[in-house]
A and B are shown apart, each in its own frame.
Chain A
Amino acid sequence: MALEQIAGKTANEIDERFGSANFVKRSARKVFPDHWSFLLGEIALYSFIVLLLTGVFLTLWFKPSHMEVIYDGAYVPLRGVPMSEAYASTLQISFDVRGGLIIRQIHHWAALIFVAAMIVHMCRVFFTGAFRKPRETNWLIGVILIMLSFIEGLAGYSLPDDLLSGTGLRITEGVLLSLPVVGTYLTFFLFGGEFPGEEIIPRLYIAHVLLIPGIFLALITVHVMLVWYQKHTQYPLPGRTEKNAVGYPFFPVYTAKAGGFFFITFGVTTLLSAFASINPVWLFGPYTPGEISAGSQPDWYMGFLEGSLRLFPNWETTLLGFTIPWNVLGPALIIPGLLFTPMILYPFIERWVTGDNAEHHVLDRPRNVPTRTGLGVMALITWLILLAAGANDLIAVAFNMSINSITWGFRVLIFVVPPLAYVVTKRICLGLQRRDRDLVLHGRETGRIVRLPNGEMIEVHEPISDARKWELTQHRVPQPAEIGPLTDANGVPRRRILAAKVRATVSRFYFEDRVEPPTPAEVHELESSGHH
């Protein structure tokens, strides 16, 4: 067959230069485990590619410049209005370039989806324990990617220089100014002097289109290569072990599925952009420092910072002639720090607590790790409350409530709900584990009531399959770590007692409440005693 001949010839030429046959031999049939939740990271990856493609298109017309021009483009309401070249060229892309608006909207939608997909992907990785050894590096890369994406997004939506984006920059300036000692200097270096200046848009532009995407590209490459090299994790299903990978081959199944999923992601983002308008900058008008519109909102991923800025009490201290604006430092620096630092450290904290040095390729069911799941839900809820608080004005309008009471409500919720969420989640997990235990020990309730000859009514339980029994009992339940004797055999006090005590306390916090999965012996015992 001609096609086969051409393919063979090409393969030969390539192999004689790069020795590629060895790689293809090992990789073409490489197995990838399959699960819908593994698609979340793919959505993020594909959105990033969509961002690169549409971004290049936009750069062909966008002018990152503060130079003042008088608008004379197609959009009549703004004709004759002085504005920056950045804003004028954004209008040009929207109205004078055919297809410009759809590409701009795809770019914006893809950015929102990119960050959302990364965050949901991170939740999947967290709750299933996929971050455990040997994948801690990929967890760190992931956290860096998410934090970078906030900066990349902020830089991006600041570029059009419309009223909304200018307001976002003004807030950025206010936050930078609040930094002790270096705040004013950093602000003047970033903006090239006072706000708004004539430098910020070209500087954000080069960061947005080259510097940060370059870092993204490098980190994403490493991230994906590590997934390839370390092999994907898999769910604890029959046949899956720590020593195998079960799934479909890269070629042809995953080539088709993953390649196809790229087109699906791109296609859905495009359809969304065709019918759901986003960031109609022509309605906001050009940025002037004295103006603002009510209901100003950043893109959703900055919402948690907006919310924390809105909630924080108005504290400010003046000490020895210097001002420390806690009302800005707290919400913009300390609260994000409290959210992100534990996120960065989590894999290492958990390893320290469990003392578990083994490789893990089989994922946890979230219920089987109640404390981790509880902590994760607690962090997630905290973040969601901040996000919701960022929309307190919209909530006030929508529900016709006082904005003051909504703000106070959120101030209370942020302290009350997260610990409650932790406790409730942990209890739910333990409850689900007990239900699993019951299923293994007593089988499934059939709803069939049978009357015995002696008149007793019982419900018939049906044993579950062995495969299912294994699924529900394959996990290990660690015991809290013991401190052990404080002195050695000769009565000499042990070293580093404090560290051991701390670890024992944290370990108790993690593993004190636990449900042991039943053993076959327990089932057997139950059966021989005649119970069901």
Chain B
Amino acid sequence: MSDQRIHEGDTSGSKDVQASGTSHDALVGDEGTGAPGAGAESGHLVERPGQDGELTRTWGNPGLPSHVYRRSDVDPKAAQRREREVATFFGVSTLGTLLFIVAYFAIKPDGEDLLEEVSLSTKLLGLGLGLALFCIGAGAIHWAKTLMPDDEIVQDRKPMRSSDEDRAAAVEAMKEGAAGAGLGRRKLIRNSLLGAMAPLGLLAIIPLRDLGPLPGASLTGTWWRPGSRVVTDPTGRPIKAADIPIGTVIHVQPEGIEKASHPLNEKAKATTLVIRLEPDEIQDQKQRDWSVDGIVAYSKVCTHVGCPVGLYEQQTHHLLCPCHQSTFDVTRDCAVIFGPAARPLPQLPLDVDEEGYLVARDDYQEPVGPSFWERG
């Protein structure tokens, strides 16, 4: 591979190309088709078939550039310096391991300033481990790049396709085997085997049936019952209607929900927001009928994919879901005014009992939470 192929400043480009060409055949292949006869000698003008069948002339592959020696290849002192650098990396790695061990035994976070101690421990352990690992890597790569041979090696690449003889032999072997099994002749065995194998998949699916109960009607109802007291979540205090200031929002659950057989499942459905508006701000007749003195209750489960609708804007009376920003207008029966939710939040009909406490008049009149096929 000659340097003299590269003639800086030579104006006669094409002549130059024709004149050069010293690399050996192993470097030269066709330019991408694998088609026979397209091979070229390096540096020469070559002809290759274009798509229309006509030959186009192009440059040949000039071959590998000449090897450039590194300082460490020619100067033993430079090589020794590189060796010391590599050793330094490995040395720092050992120090990192030591740091890790010392930090591990020296710091046992348990005191008053737990978070600070954990933070210090994490930083020192991480620094030690990080250095121990990184410096092994850095040393190894520095070694490879500066001291190991960097001559590029050329190896032949055979096509993935087997030779025609091998392919024929393979077909023959398969045919022989198939003939031995008599798959073509013994149709009864073949068909009954297929009949036995095909339904096997069912055996992998059917036993999964007991992964869970069938949905049934469990998605349609919640723990709210007629007369369920409305209590704060999570403190569980009943709420007197008269005690709620206008503009307040309270997170509530039905009283006694902890006694359910699966309290978390029930809470996930029954979680509700109680909001007090000025009575004349309510614009919807049904909403007013189900309210008590401007106090309304809505499901906290977003009708989009079920996140708790946790943000209430007091001035605009908007409820906002922090997950995907569905926005509901509380004064208009929680109609969707923005975002991906398709349905308003379901309203819980409210009442007050004889002691003045807020109660549910009934359960939600529609399924709460995200939509599903059978919801209707």
Picked from B26, B140, B143, B304, the residue with its CB within 8 Å of the CB of A263 is: B140
Nearest chain B CB to A27 CB, angstrom units? 11
A249 at the interface (CB under 8 A from B): yes
Report the separation of the CA atoms of residues A205 and B28 in the bound assembly, to the nearest whole angstrom.
Answer: 54
Give B123 Cβ to nearest chain A Cβ, in Å. 5
- The reply on A323 being an interface residue by CB < 8 A is yes
Q: In the assembled complex, how far is the CB of residue B349 from the closest CB belonging to chain A, in whole angstroms?
A: 20
The answer to whether B372 touches A183 (Cβ under 8 A) is: yes
Confirm or deny: A56 has a beta carbon within 8 angstroms of a beta carbon on chain B.
no
A362 / chain B contacts, CB cutoff of 8 Å: 32
Q: Report the minimum CB–CB distance from B376 to chain A (whole Å).
A: 5
A101 contacts B342, C-beta separation under 8 Å: no
Q: A393 to nearest B CB, angstroms?
A: 7
Interface of B is mostly: loop
B32–A260 contact, CB under 8 A?
no
Interface centre among A192, A194, A392 (most CB of B within 10 A): A194
A257 to B144, Cβ gap below 8 A?
Answer: yes
Contact mask for chain B residues 322-364; partner A; CB cutoff 8 A; 1 contact, 0 none: 1111110000000010111111000000000000000000000
Instruction: List the B residue with the shortest CB-CB distance to A239.
Output: B64
Q: Are B311 and A527 in contact (CB under 8 A)?
A: no
**B13 in contact with A178 (CB, 8 Å):** no
Shortest B11–chain A CB gap in Å is: 6
Which residues of chain B have C-beta atoms less than 8 A from A313's C-beta?
340
B68: Cβ under 8 A from any A Cβ: no
Binds A, one of B49-57, B183-191, B194-202: B49-57
The verdict on B256 contacting chain A, using a C-beta distance below 8 Å, is no
The 8 Å CB contact of B376, one of A175, A198, A322, is A322
Cβ-defined contact, B155 with A189, below 8 A: no
Scan residues 23-47 of chain A and give those whose CB is less than 8 A from a CB of chain B: 29-31
Q: Using a CB-CB cutoff of 8 Å, which residues 254-277 of chain A contact chain B?
A: 256-257, 259-268, 270-271, 273-275
In chain B, residues 119-150, which have Cβ atoms closer than 8 Å to a Cβ of chain A? 121-123, 125-127, 129-141, 143-145, 148-150
Query: Could you say which of A189, A260, A294 contacts B140, with CB atoms under 8 Å apart?
Result: A260
Smallest Cβ-Cβ distance to B338: which chain A residue = A404
Chain B residues within an 8 Å CB radius of A318: 376
- Interfacial residues of chain B within 293-342, with CB under 8 A of chain A in the complex: 300, 304-308, 310-311, 322-327, 336, 338-342
Of residues 88 through 109 on chain A, the ones whose CB sits less than 8 Å from some CB of chain B are: 94-95, 98-99, 101-102, 105-106
Residue of A nearest to B1 (CB): A239
Number of interface residues, chain B, beta carbon within 8 A: 130
How many positions in chain A have a CB within 8 Å of any CB in the partner chain? Answer: 134
How would residues 156 to 183 of chain A score, 1 for a CB under 8 Å from any chain B CB and 0 otherwise? 0000000000010011011101111111
Check: A331 CB closer than 8 A to any chain B CB: yes
**Chain B residues with CB below 8 A from A325, complex form:** 342, 370-372
Contact residues of B between 239 and 276, Cβ < 8 Å to A: 251, 253, 262, 264-265, 267-269, 271
Q: How far is the CB of B206 from chain A (nearest CB, A)?
A: 12
B125 x A274 contact (CB < 8 A): yes
* A499 close to chain B: CB less than 8 A: no
Residue contact B129 to A270, C-beta cutoff 8 Å:
yes
Please give the distance in Å from B259's CB to the nearest CB on chain A.
Answer: 15
Min C-beta distance of A453 to chain B, whole Å: 18
Q: A189-B212, A260-B140, A465-B6 are in contact. Are A95 and B114 (CB under 8 A)?
A: yes
Determine how close the nearest CB of chain A comes to the CB of B272; give it in whole angstroms: 9
| Residues of B close to A12: CB separation below 8 A | none
Other-chain contact of A403, B130, B325, B342 (Cβ < 8 Å): B325
Alpha-carbon separation in the docked complex, A479 to B269 (Å): 62
User: B34 in the interface, Cβ–Cβ < 8 Å?
Assistant: yes
Q: Which of B14, B65, B127 has a CB less than 8 Å from the CB of A523?
A: B14
- Whether A451 sits at the interface, judged by CB under 8 Å, is no
Residue ID in chain B nearest A184 by CB atoms: B215
Which residues in B have their C-beta under 8 angstroms from that of A194? 218-219, 262, 265, 268-269
Known: A183-B373, A293-B322, A467-B65. A188 touches B343 (CB 8 A): no
In the complex, whether A476 has a CB less than 8 A from a CB of chain B is yes
Query: What is the distance, in angstroms, from B278's C-beta to the closest C-beta of chain A?
Result: 25
Whether the Cβ atoms of B141 and A256 lie closer than 8 Å is yes
Q: B31, A476: Cβ atoms under 8 Å? A: yes
The chain A residue sitting closest to B142, CB to CB, is A260
A360 close to B155 (CB less than 8 A):
no
Question: Are B267's CB and A289's CB within 8 A?
Answer: yes
CA distance A295 to B307 in the complex (A): 12
Of B77-85, B156-164, B284-292, the one contacting chain A is: B156-164
| B37: Cβ under 8 A from any A Cβ | no
B87 adjacent to chain A (CB < 8 Å): no
Bound-state CA distance A260–B141 (Å) is 6
Neighbouring A residues of B152 by C-beta, 8 Å: 239, 246-248
Indicate whether B61 reaches chain A with its CB closer than 8 angstroms.
Answer: yes
Q: Is the CB of A290 within 8 A of B308?
A: yes
- Distance in Å from the Cβ of A409 to the closest Cβ of chain B? 13
**Contact across chains for A189 and B211 when beta carbons are under 8 A apart:** yes
Which chain B residues lie closer than 8 Å to A249 at the CB level?
A: 153
Known: A256-B140, A466-B5. 7 other contacts (CB 8 A): A106-B126, A170-B306, A185-B215, A239-B65, A246-B64, A253-B148, A290-B251
Q: What are 20 A-B residue pairs whose CB atoms fall within 8 Å in the complex?
A: A29-B153, A31-B153, A99-B121, A99-B125, A174-B304, A239-B27, A241-B30, A243-B156, A244-B29, A253-B149, A256-B143, A261-B137, A267-B130, A274-B125, A289-B271, A294-B322, A359-B161, A466-B43, A474-B61, A527-B14
What 10 pairs across the A-B complex have the smallest Cβ distances?
Answer: A274-B126, A174-B305, A267-B134, A260-B140, A263-B137, A241-B29, A239-B64, A289-B268, A264-B137, A316-B342
